[in-house]
Amino acid sequence: MKLKLIHKLLIAMFACAALVLVLITLVTRVSIGSGFMDFLQQQERNQVELVVPGLVNWYSEHGQWDELADNPREFYGLVFTALFQGSESQSGFGPRWLEGQPRGGRGPGLQGSGPGGRGPGPLGRNGLPQRIFLLDADQSPLVGNAPPEVDAGKLLPVTVDGANVGWVGVITIRGFQLPEEEAFITQLRNNLLIGLGLGLAIAALLAWLLARHLSRPVNEVAAGIRALASGDFNRQMNIGGSDEIARLGDDVNRLSAALREHETARKRWISDMAHELRTPLAIIKGELEAMSDGIRPLDKDNLASVGEEVKHLTSLVDDLHKLTMTDAGALAYKMQAVDFNGLVELAIDAFRGRAEGKDLQLDYSGAERDINLQGDEQRLRQLLNNLLDNAVRYTDSGGRIAIALSKSDNQARLSISDTAPGASEQECERLFERLYRMENSRNRNSGGSGLGLAICRNIVEAHDGEISAEPGPDGGLLITVTMPLDQ
């Protein structure tokens, strides 16, 4: 069974949360016992510190430990007295309680610090007084059951007049001896397990909510992409936020808008192309049927009319072929160093005859020095011919065409400005579309297929340049071409 995205997110987030909770619980369960034991041992050490002042006073009076070493009962009396006096608890035990205890303080009453030897009380926990021992300055045993190996770091020094005369220590208990301590640790560990269960339940709920929240925009984007694949370019997604998924939704919306524009352009292109092909074919068909039926004579003039339509149809097909090749990048561009200034001058000389035939003034303002480009000479000639043909064809008689070539910022700049008729800003934005012709020139008598400027744009872009159109200063059209210079 294939898991959905929401299930994968749910499993991943819950697994991460569960792993963290389980690790924390295990580490806490392992460390809680040792931590609590360290706390109890530190408490005992604090209580043993209460014994040190009494031993200091005793040594100051006697000057040596021999008498105390021979009388353990007196040592434990000092211990009991110090523990009672240092405790805030008011207990009924005191030094008199020591009367009747065997020598060495090993009586049953010393097995605890309270009645029955249970509870920490003022005398500590688990028979603390019995576990206290005294060592001399060389850490040799004097009183009490000192262990064979003593940890010097846990001994408390007995200092008299700046000299270390002995050490006091306590036997450490390993593990919990009292039921209350064991019950306390057990309760803590059980609470940890309860907390773990609650944490896992909350983690599962939060993981499900978060997975649903994250998967919803992803599913919406996926649905939008499926709609695009099925041809529905009008669907727009509204995904809030500024994260990567929201930006992906915006990108899909832009893609949908671009595809919608391309689809509209494609339909318009097919419609325009059908119209452009239908018109000359209809004229040819009508002329031939008229001559065949004897309505019009089969003479040279009528055949010339048919020939003109065939010529126009052939030109249209050729332009379509060129446009298709430039669109697909099928044209072989042979890039080399080209004198662009020289190419412009040759193109202008080639069009002077046509310009004079329409009573047009053709002016050229070239650069003082050669302008060298990395380009395909044949395609650049085609570019210049199309631009000049467009200017001569659509400029009214008696007008003027100004061509200027300059260079700045490592770029060559060619501008072609003519006189009326002009073009609006909206028309200039569409001039480079296929088969587009302005309203005041949209007639077959002006010639042209409406593909020349589209081919020009493809050639300029193939040379890493830019081409634009805008209303000209002389009331006509201004076309500007910029291309990088040869470094």
For residues 196 and 154, state if they share a domain: no
Task: State residue 413's pLDDT score.
Answer: 92
* pTM strictly above 0.85: no
Our measurement of the distance from residue 48's CA atom to the centroid of its chain's CA atoms, rounded to an integer in Å, reads 61
Q: Is residue 129 a contact partner of residue 86, using CB atoms and an 8 Å limit? A: no
Per-residue pLDDT of 340-353, as tens digits, reads 999 999 999 989 88
Confidence check: pLDDT of 94 > 60: no
Closest CA to 476 of 355, 393, 366: 393
The percentage of the chain sitting over the pLDDT mark of 90, rounded to a whole number, equals 13
Residue 440 resides in a domain: yes
For residues 362 and 403, state if they share a domain: yes
Quote the mean pLDDT of the chain.
79
Residue 43 resides in a domain: no
Residue 44 resides in a domain: no
For residues 285 and 342, state if they share a domain: no
256 versus 9: which is more confidently predicted? Answer: 256
For residues 289 and 399, state if they share a domain: no
Q: 10 Å Cβ neighbour count for 161?
A: 8
For residues 289 and 311, state if they share a domain: yes
Closest CA to 474 of 397, 417, 394, 433: 417
Query: Any idea what the CATH number is for the domain that residue 414 is in?
Result: 3.30.565.10
Among the candidates 273, 306, 325, a domain finishes at 325
End-to-end CA distance of the chain: 62
> Could you give the number of structural domains in the chain?
4
Residue 348 resides in a domain: yes
Closest CA to 122 of 133, 130, 110, 114: 114
151 versus 355: which is more confidently predicted? Answer: 355
For residues 348 and 321, state if they share a domain: no
For residues 206 and 134, state if they share a domain: no
255 token code pair: 């893609």
- Kindly state the helix (H) or strand (E) to which residue 453 belongs, with its residue range: helix 452-462
For residues 271 and 408, state if they share a domain: no
Per-residue pLDDT of 26-37, as tens digits, reads 888 777 766 777
Q: List the single range of 99-108, 116-125, 238-247, 275-284 with lowest mean pLDDT.
A: 99-108
Per-residue pLDDT of 404-442, as tens digits, reads 999 888 899 999 999 988 888 888 888 887 766 655 443
Q: For residues 302 and 293, give the distance between their C-alpha atoms in angstroms, rounded to a whole number.
A: 14
> No. of H helices and E strands in the chain?
12, 11
Residue 358 resides in a domain: yes
Q: For residues 139 and 191, give the distance between their C-alpha atoms in angstroms, rounded to a whole number.
A: 45
Residue 356 resides in a domain: yes
Closest CA to 128 of 68, 85, 169: 169
For residues 77 and 212, state if they share a domain: no
Query: Any idea what the CATH number is for the domain that residue 316 is in?
Result: 1.10.287.130
Residue 233 resides in a domain: no
Confidence check: pLDDT of 464 > 70: yes
Q: List the single range of 223-227, 324-328, 377-381 with lowest mean pLDDT.
A: 324-328
Q: For residues 152 and 168, give the distance between their C-alpha atoms in angstroms, rounded to a whole number.
A: 10
Closest CA to 363 of 474, 203, 210: 474
419 token code pair: 């006189």
pLDDT band at residue 154, thresholds of 50, 70 and 90?
A: confident
94 CB contacts (<8 Å, ≥6 apart)?
Answer: 80, 81, 84
For residues 192 and 296, state if they share a domain: no
Give me the mean pLDDT over the 136-162 stretch. 86
Give me the mean pLDDT over the 357-364 stretch. 92
Per-residue pLDDT of 100-112, as tens digits, reads 444 333 333 333 4
Q: For residues 436 and 424, give the distance between their C-alpha atoms in angstroms, rounded to a whole number.
A: 14
Residue 311 resides in a domain: yes
For residues 376 and 410, state if they share a domain: yes
Confidence check: pLDDT of 74 > 50: yes
Can you give the residue range of the structural domain that contains 201?
5-30+180-227
Burial class (CB in 10 A: 0-12, 13-18, 19+), 152: exposed
Among the candidates 195, 227, 259, a domain finishes at 227
For residues 64 and 173, state if they share a domain: yes
Q: For residue 62, give Cα distances in angstroms to 169, 195, 440.
A: 21, 59, 131
Among the candidates 281, 306, 325, a domain finishes at 325
Outline where DSSP puts E strands in 9-48: none
